[in-house]
Structure 1
Amino acid sequence: MPVRVTDVVCPFCGTLCDDLECDISDDGKKILEIYNACAIGAEKFMHSQSDDRLVLPRMRQEDGTWKNVSYEEAVEYTAQMLSNAVKPLMYGWSSTNCEAQSMGSKVGELCGAQMDNTATVCHGSTLIAIQDAGVPTCTLGEIKNRADFIIFWGCNPAHAHPRHMSRYSIFPRGFFTGKGHKGRTFVVVDPRHTDTASLTDYHLPVEQGRDYELLSALRVVFHGEGDRLPEVVAGIPKETIIEVGEKMKAARFGCIFFGMGVTQSISKNHNIDMAINVTRDLNEFSKWSIMPMRGHYNVTGSGEVWGWQYGYPFCIDLSRGYARYNPGESSSNDLIERGELDAVFVLGSDPGAHFPFSAVKKMNKLPCVCVDPHITPTTVVADLHVPVAFVGVEVGGCAYRMDSVPIETHKVVDPPEGVLTDEEFLEKVYERMKEIKGV
């Protein structure tokens, strides 16, 4: 007889949906069905049940073939690699729990590593802007219960965060938003006509790379000078900018959600500086917040953990025994491209799929360990692939939602016999490194 497990947290995206339900076999070893999850979240749960899943670490041989090794051998190889490296990179940390992130930091301190997470290629510019200008933000619960004006700028939640609109931003009926989507004004700013844009009241097809200009034009409108704008700004007619700007001023409670279409286009962190200033201007007329659409389910958590450990959220240099921070100098891609690294350790991410090809080629020539339950482009270029338990499926732990609210994920089923968790593997590496270094 199947057993129903409720209040399961989905470890896919930064929305961290916490209303999933799972039917599991009565022996507690097999997930039979998933309810309430989006298609991607459900696939992540079911993929953990794959019959061809790796359950042992594997080492690349000289002829390019793979050989299964024990976890003890994997621990020894990893500990020796990091202990002997002069400048190792420990990258990723976005698809694991905060407990593993904290243990990984101890390993990084012991070997003087360059510590970086996936924000370096997505919302790192957001973190820099927040350090410059602060951030007027809120929780997703406040959005659901209060917001009557929603803007998605440079993001497409219909694909990247499939349940965001139905749970928090557009469709749900909250305490003060009883009409749901009928009581909300919905704007998308995106050069493309995305599936999200097809649902909107206003789609502003901003010219690519000119977000800064459109944000500046909105500030002009807020200050009552809209008539002085050019006839077209960033591909948007002046009349449309004025109309949308006036509606934003009249909103009761609004939020700007923004994605990598803003953070990784021309101007980068300066786009976010301007977006934060737009939000600040709007608070002279009504209540407005701004929030990044974080991708990996715990990329926010890695920034939080390092923030309270080191004072910096990413691009951390521990080579001198204390934390230094200088994006551009201490960021992953720059370190790899300049040839400054002599070892790479990857956990909870896939740089092989997302880094520039030139960086991946250089990474391929370095000693590399990848800790991941999946076979990925990164595991293909690694010398050692260590499969681990799925966080949020086979092991619990803390994760931070995109609004920086901590959510405790739950274990649903047991991992395959003998498979370690991220935290357990890192702890074994840490203890072995202490023996090697005599500390």
Structure 2
Amino acid sequence: MPKVIKNVGCPYCGACCDDVEVTVSDDGKRVLEVKNVCAIGTQIFMHGGDHDGRIKLPRMRQPDGTMKDVSFKEAIDFTAKTLLKAKKPLMYGFGSTNCEGHAAAARVMERAGGCLDNCASICHGSSFLAIFDNGYPSCTLGEVKNRADVIVYWGSNPAHAHPRHMSRYAIFPRGFFTGKGHKSRTVIVIDPRFTDTGRVADYYLQVRQGHDYELFDAFRMVCHGHADDIPDVVANIPKETILEVAEVMKNARFCNFFYGMGLCHSDGRNHNIDIAISLTRDLNEFTKCTIMAMRGHYNITGPGAVWSWQFGFPYCLDLTKKTMVHMNPGETSSVDLAMRDEIDAFINIGTDAGAHFPIPAVQHLKKHPFITIDPSRNMASEISDLHVPVKICGVDDGGIVYRMDNVPIQYRKVVDAPAGVPSDEEFLDAVYERMVELEGEGFI
């Protein structure tokens, strides 16, 4: 008899929807149906468990270039020896890994004396730099749902990137103080292109590409009483529109900014986030205002939280000195290390560096041992020397994940993984133990 499991967390985006209902087969090995989840989340659930197309053994590249199935013991031994031989190994990714895996990875790389980085270095790393300088006046998604009557999406398109964000947290849900749902809220979308998110906006401001900082500055001028000094047009937005939208923000009961990669990856980068935080602070002179990054993967917030607790830094960690942890984005960030060809062993885990890194960076990394730890095939796994399949957190493995608002959520498994397939934590713990054994045997 099929079993229905309720209140399951979705392993797709940073919204971490935890109201998913999953129907599993009576043997507990296959997902039959999922409810309250987007199309992408559905695909992740349906590919979990013991289905026919799943990779169940590690694959190692042979001298003739083909991939051959090997045992997990061989994969553990190869990974441990690779890390011990390397002078400066790098482990990168962790967007789709639970926090237990993040802690295990930190232990491995600390012993290996290498570098440890997560997707933030090519994603929201600029947010970290701005937050270090200017603070983070944020809140939880629950507070947004229950209190916010003005929602600003700036440089983000949740209709595609976070499909249930608007319906679950921001625009459509009926909260304690927003009982009329969408009718209780004013939606402002600021983006250089008209997106599907813009279709639900009360105000759509098509800012000139790369000129977000100027528009932030104009809003701040209004807050500081210098509206008369604003030019007739700022960043492609007419002055009268700026004044009107600024009044909407100032007169809100609770205003929240959701910003995305449009600010982090355009001209200004961390300075865009810095002034966005400053505008949030300015608006708090008139009303309650908060700001939140639209984090991408469902647990990309996790490594920042775990490693900050362990080492004092959220990303771009240089552990080569072992006694002192060093972080300097631009020097110790993954792409920069790869572009300078400083890395002599690379582990791609819970992400796809083959798809996301610049081609020259991948070419440098491919000169040396290249390992991918991921449940599925991707561009990185297909150029790897070793591909290790692992469990999928939230489907056939449990663990702690951090939602985009830094709230930790306990995920749980709903089906059994194929026999013998380890979790990220189990595999990395085994690698650590093998490293200790090899060092005891005088391997290096």
1:78 maps to a residue whose letter is T
Aligned twin of 1:401: 403
* Letter paired with 2:140: T
Q: 1:323 maps to which residue?
A: 325
TM-aligned CA deviation for residue 25 of structure 1: 1.1
Matched, 1:281 2:275: no
2:380 aligned counterpart, secondary structure: helix
Alpha-carbon distance between aligned partners in 2 of 1:338 and 1:191, rounded to the nearest angstrom: 33
Q: How many Å separate the matches in 1 of 2:215 and 2:38? A: 33
Say what the alpha-carbon RMSD is for the aligned residues.
0.9
1:171 aligned residue: 172
1:270 is matched with which residue? 271
User: Per-residue displacement from partner, 1:351-392 (whole Å, max 9, x unpaired)?
Assistant: 111111111122222211100011000101210000011111
Q: How does 1:16-31 map to 2 (within 5 A)?
A: 16-31=16-31
Q: How does 1:7-406 map to 2 (within 5 A)?
A: 7-49=7-49, 50-321=51-322, 322-406=324-408
Measured after TM superposition, the shift of residue 334 of structure 1 is 0.3
Q: 1:325 offset after TM fit, Å? A: 0.7
Superposition deviation, residue 94 in structure 1: 1.6
Instruction: Report the counterpart of residue 6 of structure 1 in structure 2.
Output: 6
Question: What is the TM-score when the length of structure 1 is the normalising length?
Answer: 0.99
Distance 1:100 1:167 in 2: 28
The DSSP-based 3-state class of the residue aligned with 1:216 is helix
Distance 1:234 1:188 in 2: 15
What do the CA deviations read for 1:318-355 (whole angstroms, capped 9, x no partner)?
A: 00012111000000000000011100011111111111
1:69 shift after superposition: 0.4
Query: Is the 2:25–2:32 Cα contact (8 Å) retained in structure 1?
Result: yes
Q: Percent identity?
A: 58
Superposition deviation, residue 246 in structure 1: 1.0
Letter in 1 for 2:402: Y
Contact 2:48 2:415 in 1 (8 A): no
Alignment partner of 2:91: what SS?
Answer: strand
Structure 1 residues 87-96 or 45-54, which shifts more?
45-54
Which residue, out of 406, 409, 412, partners 1:410? Answer: 412
Letter in 1 for 2:127: T
| Distance (Å, rounded) in 2 between the aligned partners of 1:361 and 1:68 | 25
Q: Deviations over 1:180-215 (max 9, x none)?
A: 111101001101110000110011110111011110
Name stretches of at least 5 consecutive residues in structure 1 with no aligned partner. Answer: none
Distance in 2 of aligned mates of 1:113 and 1:189:
41
Alignment-mate amino acid for residue 39 of structure 1 = A
**In 1, distance between residues paired with 2:358 and 2:268?**
19
Looking at structure 1, the residues matched to 28 and 275 of structure 2 have their Cα atoms a distance apart, in angstroms, of 51
Give the TM-score of the pair, scaled to structure 2: 0.98
What is the alpha-carbon distance in structure 1 between the residues aligned to residue 379 and residue 366 of structure 2? Answer: 11
